[in-house]
Chains A and B, each alone.
Chain A
C-alpha cells in the first residue's frame, strides 16, 4: 500500500505548480488552468485522507470540488470571453480596472 505521505507530496507538488502558475503567468486562461490544478491537488489530499481514515466523507467532498471546478471553469471562461470582447486582451497585468 502506498503510504499517505506520497499522496501528500504529489498533492504538494501539484499545488505549488498551480500557485506559481497563478502568480507568474500573464495569460488569464493559463491562470484559470493553474487554479484547476490547485483544486485537483486539494482533491488528491481529500481522497488520500479519506482512505487513511476509512470514511467516505472525503470522497463526497472531492466530488463537490469537481462540480465546483466545472462550474468555475464555465463562469470563468464566460467572464474571459466578455472581457476579451471589451478590451481585446487576455493578459492579466492589463486588467487594471480595479484601480480607478
Chain B
C-alpha cells in the first residue's frame, strides 16, 4: 500500500505532468509522499504496539514467479516460487521511517529549490518513481523483489543524475553511475542465484531456518561465496572500494537528488541488504572480514580525498562514501545494529548537510566552489545554523546523533580488532577536520564571493528552510534512541532491532550482536569511556585544526599544500583512481570494441555483406543485360517492324482538314471516272 502512492504520482507526472502547472505537481507528488509517510508511520505504530517477539509481519500479495519444482545443489527438492510480498519488521520500520520521513522533507525542499528549473514535472516524476522503488526495496520480503527495487532506484539515480542532460558532464556522470552499478549488480545476481541453488529460498524470513536445516559449518565455502557476491553488489550500490567512483560524479545532479538518493536512502541500500541477509553473513566470518576491511579502508580513503576538495558537494560526497564505509565496518565486525543505527543518523545529518549546501548554492546563484564563498554566517543565518548543527553531528560531538552511532561502531570495531579501530579513529578526526574546513570556508572568514553574485545573496524560501530546521532537530535528537547503557541509557534501538539480527546468529554462537553486546557489558565501562573520550578528543582536534588553519592563519593550508606537493596532488586528483580505471578497464574495453569493430568492418562487412552485395550486383547486371538486349530487343524489334511498315500510311495522315478534303475529291473523281468509263459514257456523248 505504502509504495503505491508515489507510483501513482510518478505515473501521473510522467504521462500528463507536462500540462500541469507547478502547483499541481506539488500537490500530487509531495502529497503522495506525504500519504505514504502517514501510512508508514501508521504501520510502524502498529508494529511497535505488538509484543517484541511478534514484530515480524509478512504477507504475500500475489505469486510473482511460480517457477515450479527444482533441485538445490544439496539435492533437496524445492517447490520454488517468488511472491510479491511485504515484510514488516523492526529493520524495515527503521528504513521506512528514514525513507518516507527524509524523503518527504526533501520533496518539500525541492519545491523551493527546483521552482525556477525547467522540467519541473519530470523531476518530481522521477523523484516519486524513486520513492516507489526505494519503498519496494525496503518492504520486499525476498531478495528478488528487493532486487527489483534495487534496479529501480539505480534507474532513477541514473535519470536524476543526468537530469541536466544538456550538460555533457551530467549525462556522463549518469552513465558512469549506471555502468559501475551494473558491475555490482552482476555480483548481486550471482549471489542471489547461488543462494537460491544452495539454500533453496530467497525469502528473508526463511534464510535462518534454511541455514539451520542445511547444517552448514561456520565458514562454509559456499556461504562465504554467497556473502562475498552479495557484498560486491553492495559495494556498487553503496559506493565502496573499488566501485565508489560514481558517487562523487553523481553530484552533477540537482542537490535534492544528492541529498535523497546519494546520501540518505539509495546508497544505504547496500548496508540494508547486508543487514537483511545477516543470517548468511554471520555464517561466513571470512566474508565479514572482507566487509570490515573494505569498509574501513574506504572510509579512510574517502576521508583523505575529502580533505582537499574545493567543490562543496564533492566534499560531502566523499564524506558520504566515508560514512558508508563506517556502516560496512560495523556490519563487518558483526555489529549490524550499529551499522543500521549509523545509517539512520547519517540519513538525518547528511540529508541536512546536502540540503544546506543546496541552500548555500541556491543563495549564491549556483556557485559550488568553496574558494568563492566565505562569511555567509550573517547573510543566510538559518542555513548556516542548521549546517553547523549537522557538521557537529557528523563530527561526533555528544550529545548529537553522530556521536552515538559512530561511537557504537568504533566500540565494536575495537573489540574486533584494534587496527580497524585505529583506522576508523583517524577517519573520525579527518571527518571533523574536513567538515569544519567546509564550514569555515563557507560561513566564516573573509568573503571571497564574486561581487556580481554578492548582491543577490538571499536566504532561501521557507519551503527550503523549514525542512532544514526539522532535519536539524532530528540530527540533534536522532541519536538518543540509541543512548548506550554505559552512559545510563538503555540502547533501545539495539533492543528494537534485536529480533531481526539475532535470530540466525543465536544458533551460530560467537559472532553475534547479542554476544558482542554481552561481552561489551562484561568488559566493563572503563574501555568504553576511554574510547568515547578519545573519539571526542580527536573530533575536537579536527575542529580546532580546521579553525586554526582556515580562520586564524589562512595561509597555512597553501604552505602545507606546497610543502607536500606530491601528496596534495595525489589527494586532489583522487589518487588518480579515475585515470587508473580508464587505463585499466575503460580503455581496454574500448580497445576490445575497436578490435571487434575492425573485425566487423573488415570481415563481416567486407567479406560477408559487401561480398554478397557484389555478387548480387554482378548477377543483376547479367540479368539486366539479358533483359534489355534480348527480351526488350525482341519487343522493340516487333514495334520497329510495324513502324517501318506504317511509314507510307503515316505520311497520308497529316491531320489537315483541307488535305482530307482533297483526298475526298480525288476519290469522288476516281469513282466517277470509273463509273463513266464502265458505262460507256464519254464526255463527248454527254455533251450531245
Contacts and interface: CB of A to CB of B under 8 A. Distances in A.
Interaction A to B: yes
B672 to A, nearest CB: 12
Contact of A92 (B653, B657, B665, B687): B657
B648 interface: no
Given A5-B687, A19-B665, A23-B665, A93 B653 contact: no
A22 interface: yes
Interface in B646-670: 653-662, 665
Contacts of B654: 96, 99
Contacts of A25: 658
Contact of B655 (A22, A26, A28, A98): A98
A96 B655 contact: yes
Contacts of B665: 19, 22-23
A99 B653 contact: yes
Which of B653, B654, B658, B687 has the most chain A CB atoms closer than 10 A to its own CB? B658
Interface string B628-661: 0000000000000000000000000111111111
Contacts of B657: 28, 92-93, 95, 98
Given A19-B665, A23-B665, A31 B655 contact: no
A93 B661 CA distance: 11
Given A5-B687, A19-B665, A23-B665, A99 B655 contact: yes
Interface string A69-100: 00000000000000000000000111111111
B653 A26 contact: no
Contact of A22 (B653, B656, B661, B687): B661
Contacts of A31: 658, 661
Contacts of A97: 655
Interface size on A, as a range, is 10 to 19
Interface in A1-45: 5, 19, 22-23, 25-26, 28, 31
Nearest to A99: B655
B575 to A, nearest CB: 91
Nearest to A20: B665
A56 B657 CA distance: 37
A84 B136 CA distance: 89
Interface in B229-277: none
Contacts of B659: 93
B308 to A, nearest CB: 94
A27 to B, nearest CB: 10
Which of B655, B657, B660, B665 has the most chain A CB atoms closer than 10 A to its own CB? B657
A97 B654 CA distance: 10
Contacts of B661: 22-23, 31
A92 B656 contact: yes
B629 to A, nearest CB: 32
Interface in B671-688: 687
B647 to A, nearest CB: 15
A23 B283 CA distance: 124
A97 B401 CA distance: 106
A67 to B, nearest CB: 23
Nearest to B669: A19
A28 B653 CA distance: 20
B687 A93 contact: no
Contacts of B658: 22-23, 25-26, 31, 92-93
Contacts of A19: 665
A28 B657 CA distance: 10
B370 to A, nearest CB: 90
Which of A25, A97, A98, A100 has the most chain B CB atoms closer than 10 A to its own CB? A98
Contacts of A96: 654-656
A95 B430 CA distance: 108
Contacts of B656: 92-96
Nearest to A5: B687
Contacts of B662: 23
Contacts of B660: 98
B687 to A, nearest CB: 7
A45 B530 CA distance: 155
A29 to B, nearest CB: 13
Nearest to A34: B661
A49 to B, nearest CB: 14
A97 B657 CA distance: 9
B535 to A, nearest CB: 109
Contacts of B653: 99
B686 to A, nearest CB: 9
B673 to A, nearest CB: 15
Nearest to A95: B657
13 contacts: A19-B665, A22-B665, A23-B658, A28-B657, A31-B658, A31-B661, A92-B658, A93-B656, A94-B656, A95-B655, A95-B657, A96-B655, A96-B656
3 cross-chain pairs, A with B, having the tightest CB-CB distances, nearest first = A99-B655, A96-B655, A92-B658
Given A95-B656, A99-B654, 20 more contacts: A5-B687, A19-B665, A22-B658, A22-B661, A22-B665, A23-B658, A23-B661, A23-B662, A25-B658, A26-B658, A28-B657, A31-B658, A93-B656, A93-B658, A93-B659, A94-B656, A95-B657, A97-B655, A98-B655, A100-B655
Interface of A: 5, 19, 22-23, 25-26, 28, 31, 92-100
